[in-house]
Amino acid sequence: MTLDPSPLGPASISLAGRVAIVTGAAVGIGRATALALARFGADVAVCDRDVENLDELAGEIEGLGRQVVAAGLDVRDADGVAGFLATARDRLGHVDVLVNNAGGGFRAGFLDVSEKGQRSLVDENFTSVTHFVRGVVPLMAAKGGSIITITSIEAHRAGPDFAVYSAMKAACMSLTKSLALELGPRMIRVNCIAPDVIPTPGIGTGLGIHTPLARAGHADDIAGAVVFLASDSLSGFVTGTTIHVDGGNLAAGGWRRLDDGTYTT
């Protein structure tokens, strides 16, 4: 199948008429992503366990003139995911974009992680993604869609004291490559975005700035990459890859920028 795209221009960025799902949307990267998609024209279905902040977000999306479906949801709950997707289908009709943002971890040496803790990490960071992909693909139209999973720089390097979390983010990256091949004939693009620490409520605040780009990251940096991957016009031939939104930290490897602009290892 070949496409004859329209000439690129400002209208290419519009997501008008599109429907997006964002998980873990109440605060931080998820919130910025849901609002960015709405500002660019998409109707949005959002979920999170943080119902109070999710309701506030839903009000902001409605204020932008977009339709919104919001549900308190633990993404580890397969039945809950199915119910949420059924509501989104009934209210919004179809899905064009899925953003798997929900996830999280805790600091602990691998030998100190209990079986219950490990299961929680696996379910929240990996199994939840599989729940949503299986549920959303049948809701995507014949023209295809875009699946975007927020992973982490730790999917691509060691994660001491976050070993299981890092392994699950790496698993999402591997799954993305396989799904890009399996879903390509359906015109569904599958990609990852790998941030480093982005200051959000309770995470990454008070840290020094040592990235090659001499500024802190922002949730909107991730949201901008999501908008790019959501747009068929801008990223229609991009699939099976990871966009690293980390200020250059992956490229830096073991190098660390000092305050005077020089580097040390």
Catalytic residues: 165
Contact in structure between 37 and 64 (CB atoms under 8 Å): no
∠ at Cα 12 (7, 17), nearest 5°? 130
- Distance (Å, whole) CA 195 – CA 226: 12
Looking up tokens 């299961």 gives: 119
CB atoms within 10 A of CB 207: 10
What element of type H or E holds 220? helix 219-230
What element of type H or E holds 244? strand 242-245
- Distance (Å, whole) CA 251 – CA 126: 25
- Distance (Å, whole) CA 232 – CA 145: 8
Q: What is the DSSP letter of 28?
A: H
Phi-psi region of 24 (alpha: psi -120 to 50; beta: other; left: phi over 0): left
Task: Please report, as a single letter, which amino acid is at residue 235.
Answer: S
∠ at Cα 188 (186, 191), nearest 5°? 150
Q: What is the DSSP letter of 8?
A: P
